[in-house]
Amino acid sequence: MYSETVMDHFTHPRNMGEIPNASGTGTVGNAKCGDIMKIDIQVEDGIIKDVKFKTFGCGAAIATSSMASEMVKGKSLSEALKLTNLAVAEALGGLPPVKMHCSMLAEEAIRAAIEDYMAKHPEQP
Ligand code: FES
Residue 85 Cα to ligand 1 middle (Å) = 13
User: Strands (DSSP E) along 1-125, which ranges?
Assistant: 24-29, 36-44, 47-56
Domain boundaries, the chain: 4-120
Q: Would you say the CB of residue 60 lies under 6 angstroms from ligand 1?
A: yes
Indicate the helix (H) or strand (E) that contains 94: none
User: Of 86, 67, 85, nearest to 12 (Cα)?
Assistant: 67
Note the pTM of the prediction, 2 decimals.
0.94
Q: Which atom of ligand 1 has the smallest separation from the CA of 55? A: 4
Catalytic residue among 102, 105, 112, 113: 102
Mean pLDDT split into 10-residue runs, the chain, 125 residues = 95 98 96 94 97 96 97 97 97 96 95 97 78
Domain covering 4-120, topology:
Sufe protein. Chain: A (3.90.1010)
